[in-house]
Amino acid sequence: MFDKVLIANRGEIALRVLRACREIGIATVAVHSTADADAMHVRLADESVCIGPPPAAESYLNIPRLVAACEITGADAIHPGYGFLAENARFAEILEGHGITFIGPSPEHIRIMGDKIEAKATARRLGIPVVPGSDGPIANTAQAASIASAMGYPVLVKATAGGGGRGMKVVHAPEDLDAAIKTARAEAAAAFGNDSVYLERFLSAPRHIEVQVFGDGRGSAIHLGERDCSLQRRHQKVWEEAPSPALNASERAGIGAIIAAAMQKLKYRGAGTVEFLYEDGKFFFIEMNTRLQVEHPVTEMITGLDLVIEQIRVASGNTLTLKQSEVTFTGHAIECRINAENPETFMPSPGKIEYWHPPGGLGVRVDSGAYQGYRIPPFYDSLIGKLIVHGKNRNEALMRLKRCLSEFVIDGIDTTIPLFARLVKEPDIANGLYNIHWLESFLKKPAQSHSSMP
């Protein structure tokens, strides 16, 4: 096991990783930009190193500075958290070259899954159901047109290097295909420096369901069930839950077994998430994330496992702590992402937290680096915490969530808490009847007035 781990991240996830390290007796090194000198992860770490000015490119994304921080402090491994360098194959490789363990998958697996076409081809080869499509980059409009007419419209043009929905275009008729390919290429070139695009059948109203996997890198791999992340706004997840209200136990075991077998064949190491669109009872692979995800706590709440401790264990060469038959799913968990944003306009709202009173009690977890008096810097993303509730069933989790939202007080900045207070009152949410378009359509409707009618 490692003696000292450097946490190459900030905010709630840096704290999350720090807590895991401390529980298993590993010393921690926090890194921070000058904007984060008074952040909670810095205060709680055993040691800290300032790695640069506020812009992430000069601090949290600066590989030489992170390597230097390891050398100065004698850290033997880096946990990347999520975002920043978590899915940078080059970073993982450089660390290997310096004798520092990257707590994550092999650089090769990160690279494969970072290329959407290679990821899909790999998934298909491993027996995972994928969305029908071009099975490779589009060479020209004529080739795309023949694939699209064989598949049937509507189709979707996607960027190979894509992510976050950028470079994605829906095409409803053959005459629009050429323009869509050109626009998608231009967007992809600008966003990713790679204009390669491919074609998929367009699924009109799917759910986003993702399966958590874990491998030891030596051919053992298990799945930890799914999360339903369909409630998104502009490709940002807002609410995640486990299990999915749309699946039954046999569908869960079915897709889980397929994915676990695939990860065994791949000899995948560490935590991963296989993302699907789910429509009409069928799963369609879209991509795989080779990192710990923001929403991992809902899986922890229903399995009782600590995913960060598992990550550290397998990164240091241990086997998984449990077999598939020992994984059990208990109750229901829901996570709400608390962002420092206006709950109606979603404009960022950095600034000082004048008052902070998080909820508590049975089945309640708040993962956050925020505290009363903390000043949220304007340089990073607006996630300031996550409220996670667990109940013995979905209804109990919803009632608990409603209670927690009424208890949570954050003064001084705007947060998305009022949005969740609206969501928990919606019949579609109570009934689990939502797809990837539900939230955006809900937000287009005017907010209901709370004034009492005469």
Stretch that binds ligand MV4, among 172-180, 197-205, 252-260, 370-378 (CB under 6 A): 197-205
How far apart CA 79 and CA 86 sit, in angstroms, is 8
Instruction: Say if CB 363 and CB 400 are below 8 A apart.
Output: yes
Contacts of ligand MV4 in 398-437 (CB under 6 A):
436
Residue number with CB closer to ligand MV4 (392 or 437):
437
How far apart CA 207 and CA 246 sit, in angstroms, is 9
Residue 203 found at the interface with ligand MV4 (CB under 6 A): yes
Stretch that binds ligand MV4, among 73-81, 200-208, 371-379, 384-392 (CB under 6 A): 200-208
How far apart CA 88 and CA 92 sit, in angstroms, is 7
Look at the alpha carbons of 214, 256, 282, 198 in this order and tell me if their dihedral is positive or negative: positive
Query: To which H or E segment does residue 374 belong?
Result: none
List 91, 202, 356, 434, residue binding ligand MV4 (CB under 6 A): 202
Stretch that binds ligand MV4, among 88-96, 195-203, 260-268, 352-360 (CB under 6 A): 195-203
Residue number with CB closer to ligand MV4 (27 or 238):
238
**Is 365 one of the annotated active-site residues of the chain?**
no
> What is the smallest separation between the CB atom of 232 and ligand MV4, expressed in angstroms?
4
Stretch that binds ligand MV4, among 33-41, 196-204, 300-308, 364-372 (CB under 6 A): 196-204
Tell me which residue of 71, 86, 106 sits closest to 9, measured CA to CA: 86
Stretch that binds ligand MV4, among 37-45, 121-129, 199-207, 298-306 (CB under 6 A): 199-207
* For the chain, the helix, strand and coil percentages under 3-state DSSP, each to the nearest 5: 35, 25, 40
> What is the smallest separation between the CB atom of 78 and ligand MV4, expressed in angstroms?
27
Residue 286 found at the interface with ligand MV4 (CB under 6 A): yes
Residue 232 found at the interface with ligand MV4 (CB under 6 A): yes
How far apart CA 224 and CA 247 sit, in angstroms, is 14
Stretch that binds ligand MV4, among 68-76, 180-188, 201-209, 361-369 (CB under 6 A): 201-209
Instruction: Say if CB 77 and CB 6 are below 8 A apart.
Output: yes
Number of residues this chain uses to bind ligand MV4 (CB under 6 A): 14
> What is the smallest separation between the CB atom of 129 and ligand MV4, expressed in angstroms?
13
Residue number with CB closer to ligand MV4 (181 or 286):
286
> What is the smallest separation between the CB atom of 223 and ligand MV4, expressed in angstroms?
20
How far apart CA 266 and CA 262 sit, in angstroms, is 6
Helix/strand/coil for 212: strand
Tell me which residue of 107, 111, 109, 101 sits closest to 315, measured CA to CA: 101
Instruction: Say if CB 401 and CB 336 are below 8 A apart.
Output: yes
Residue number with CB closer to ligand MV4 (2 or 239):
239
Residue 184 found at the interface with ligand MV4 (CB under 6 A): no
- Per annotation, catalytic residue among 291, 365, 394, 400: 291
Residue number with CB closer to ligand MV4 (9 or 289):
289
How far apart CA 101 and CA 111 sit, in angstroms, is 17
Residue 131 found at the interface with ligand MV4 (CB under 6 A): yes
Residue 150 CB burial class (10 angstroms; 0-12, 13-18, ≥19): exposed
Residue number with CB closer to ligand MV4 (16 or 227):
227
Residue 165 found at the interface with ligand MV4 (CB under 6 A): yes
The residue to which tokens 């069933």 are assigned: 393
Residue number with CB closer to ligand MV4 (76 or 287):
287
List 90, 98, 235, 352, residue binding ligand MV4 (CB under 6 A): 235
Q: Are strands 409-411 and 355-357 parallel, antiparallel or unpaired?
A: antiparallel
> What is the smallest separation between the CB atom of 439 and ligand MV4, expressed in angstroms?
9
> What is the smallest separation between the CB atom of 356 and ligand MV4, expressed in angstroms?
31
| DSSP of 193-218 | S---EEEEEPPSS-EEEEEEEEEESS
Would you give the DSSP letter of residue 194? Answer: -
How far apart CA 16 and CA 41 sit, in angstroms, is 9
The single-letter code of the amino acid at 92 is A
Instruction: Say if CB 55 and CB 346 are below 8 A apart.
Output: no
Helix/strand/coil for 275: strand
> What is the smallest separation between the CB atom of 340 and ligand MV4, expressed in angstroms?
23
Instruction: Say if CB 78 and CB 28 are below 8 A apart.
Output: no
Residue 334 found at the interface with ligand MV4 (CB under 6 A): no
What's the token pair of residue 251? 């569908």
Instruction: Say if CB 160 and CB 138 are below 8 A apart.
Output: no
Q: Which residues share a beta bridge with 284?
A: 277
Residue 117 found at the interface with ligand MV4 (CB under 6 A): no
> What is the smallest separation between the CB atom of 166 and ligand MV4, expressed in angstroms?
9
> What is the smallest separation between the CB atom of 440 and ligand MV4, expressed in angstroms?
8
Residue 145 found at the interface with ligand MV4 (CB under 6 A): no
Question: Rule CB under 6 A: which residues touch ligand MV4?
Answer: 131, 156, 165, 200-203, 208, 232, 235, 277, 286-287, 436
- Which residues are marked as active site? 291
